[in-house]
Amino acid sequence: MPVSGVVPRVPRGLRVGDWEVGEPIAEGGWGWVYEGRGAGGADGDRIVALKFMPTAGLAPRQARGLAESARRESEFGRRNQHPRLVRLLDSLVLDEPEHPELDGAVVLVMERAERSLRQLLEAEGALPDGTGTRILTQICEGLAHLHSLGWVHGDLKPDNVLLMADGSVRLSDFGLAAELDGTLGTHAWMPPAGTPDYLPPERWRAPLGERGVKVRPSTDIWALGIVIHQVFTGGASPFPGATAAARGAAVQEFAAGRAPLRLDPAVPEVWRALAADCLAPAHETRAAHTAQEVLTRVRAAEGGASDAVGDTGHPRRRRRLVLGAVTATALGAATAVGWPYVVADGEGHGAGKGTEVHTENISGTASATARVTVFNVEKFCRDRAEARDPMCSLGLAVDPQAAYTIDNVVPTRVWHGDVLPAECRMSKGLPVTDEVGTRTTAWYKVRLRDGRAWLPAVRTKDRPAVPECG
């Protein structure tokens, strides 16, 4: 939705490549974001976000810096795709002599989000435990994937966490993202930029060299600690001060051991402990708490949680795992270790959308016609089902009553639209929650070519008449 108070700077209806400019969405020191609609052609009336980065009026050095930021973001978008990272669809340079302010501007075309986490916090204040946990878990998924690729985000903050229409989370704005290139791949170089409220203590005194300032993954971990605190406090920083400079001074006092870390009691106990570790003042201490380690702790904490109030405001058992966390981790592992695609119709490739997965002939008590169709809540993955995109594959569990982690997923992968024979249903398996907060304890025992596996009921819309598993 357009954001009120944003002054339109780009004419509505202006044609930008294959897109037509709509309402303004946001603006910052780097430029502006507008809604765009496909102007015919292959994209039809698809809605996107157009990020304008104008160069008019900039000094040559400033223009080069902006061009480098755009190049960095474009390169990152082309090389790295994942359900937790916003997708870059295209990039172009405007030739608009009739609009001098826009002439030469760099435009990045990205998938359209519903709003940012910052906008959500400004509208609703502190988030309830269930909603906050879901969002933070998905942030950790994206950050863990980013770091596993050898990249540092460099500007993690609520403004750069996007919430999609289906409720899923995307990390965005990779203009400062840097690839690790130290001797052991332990650090990267980036311009002396960033948002002061999210800079770790060492960045405030980092020397500026010819390649910029040195950054490490622990830079993002510090920022994650700030974001955790803000999610449960409606945007409040854990460091006191009326201005960014004052809060920066408070960070230095804390890092020097002259002031304690004071986290708001509103932050749930599990997240308080995580935030405290993320905000360790020394890089060496903070480096031990990687994004993957934080994500693992989130899963473990949810596995042992007691009664809580969920996203709907009604009492229920706290989610023991956000299903998207398993999906994201398993996706990366599937690509790395070469997990096989589902074998369909006797062919050694993935089954097409809506086809039945080839299974072994097993006699039993289950109805021969009982079937479940796999459903992926991520629209991006539903649209790409026929492409059998590895990052959209879903894992089936070995044991529905054990922690649903990478170690409890069968080698065979499935995609949205695959049809699986169902033998029986377990009503009281491990509770799982999908990416938009739908929770279930029900699992279906399904047959595959290489044996049996368990599909959580949130991964299908079908409810076949099958017996309860014994």
At 38, which CATH number?
3.30.200.20
- 291 and 261, same structural domain? yes
Q: Which of 196, 204, 214 is nearest to 252 (CA)?
A: 204
Residue whose tokens read 């249903």? 425
pLDDT tens column, 18-70: 899 999 988 766 678 999 998 766 556 789 999 888 876 665 666 666 666 67
Overall average pLDDT of the 298-323 stretch? 42
> Is position 464 within any domain?
no
Asked whether the beta carbons of 186 and 152 are under 8 A apart, the reply is: no
What is the C-alpha to C-alpha distance for residues 36 and 11, in angstroms, rounded to an integer? 12
Looking at residue 50, its pLDDT comes to 92
- Domain end, chosen from 318, 337, 361, is at 318
Is the same domain home to 433 and 402?
yes
The pLDDT tens digits for 391-449 are 677 888 899 988 765 567 888 888 899 999 999 999 988 887 766 567 788 999 999 98
- What count of other Cβ atoms lies within 10 Å of the Cβ of residue 33? 25
On the question of pLDDT at 72 being above 80, the answer is no
Q: In the prediction, which pLDDT does 110 show? A: 87
| 191 and 287 co-located in one domain | yes
Among residues 72, 95, 111, the one where a domain terminates is 111
How many other C-beta atoms lie within 10 A of the C-beta of residue 55?
21
What is residue 352's predicted lDDT score, i.e. its pLDDT?
37
Cβ partners under 8 Å of residue 327, min gap 6: 83, 394, 395, 435
Tokens 């080069």 identify what position? 64
Could you report the per-residue pLDDT of 283-307, keeping only the tens digit for each? 889 888 899 999 988 877 765 443 3
On average, the pLDDT of the chain sits at 77
Q: Which residues share a beta bridge with 31?
A: 28
Task: Name the domain boundary from 52, 76, 111.
Answer: 111
Q: How far is Cα 185 from Cα 12, in angstroms, rounded to an integer?
A: 45
**Coil, strand or helix at 410:** strand
**How many Å apart are CA 266 and CA 142, to the nearest integer?**
25
Backbone dihedral region for residue 462 (phi beyond 0: left; psi -120 to 50: alpha; all else: beta)? beta
Quickly list DSSP for 3-32.
PTTPPP-S-TT-EETTEEEEEEEEEETTEE
- Greatest mean pLDDT among 167-181, 252-266, 438-452 lies in 252-266
> Is 5 inside a domain boundary?
no
Tokens representing residue 305 in the block? 């949680």
Query: Which of 128-137, 177-186, 407-416 has the largest mean confidence?
Result: 128-137
CA-to-CA dists, residue 446 to 117, 324, 397, 455, angstroms:
38, 21, 10, 7
- Is residue 233 located within the same domain as residue 297? yes
Look at residue 342 in the predicted model and tell me its pLDDT: 29
- Co-location of 300 and 165 in the same domain: yes
The gap from C-alpha 76 to its chain's centroid, in whole angstroms, comes to 15
Which tokens in the block code for residue 432?
Answer: 């799982």
Comparing 175 with 337, the larger pLDDT belongs to: 175
465 within a domain of the structure (yes/no)? no
Q: Which residues of 331-357 are buried (b: 16+ CB within 10 A; e: fewer)?
A: bbbbeeeebebbbbeeeeebbebeeeb
Q: Which of 130-139, 272-281, 326-335, 358-367 has the lowest mean pLDDT?
A: 326-335
Q: Are 179 and 150 in contact (CB under 8 A)?
A: yes
Tokens of 56: 């008019």
- Domain of residue 44 covers 15-111
Q: How many domains does the chain have?
A: 3
Q: Is 316 exposed, middle or buried (0-12, 13-18, 19+ CB in 10 A)?
A: middle
Rounded to whole angstroms, the Cα distance separating 147 from 217 reads 7
Q: Mean per-residue pLDDT for 240-265?
A: 90
**Residues 180 and 298 both lie in one domain:** yes
Q: How many residues are given for the chain?
A: 470
- CA atoms lying within 13 Å on the CB side of residue 161: 28
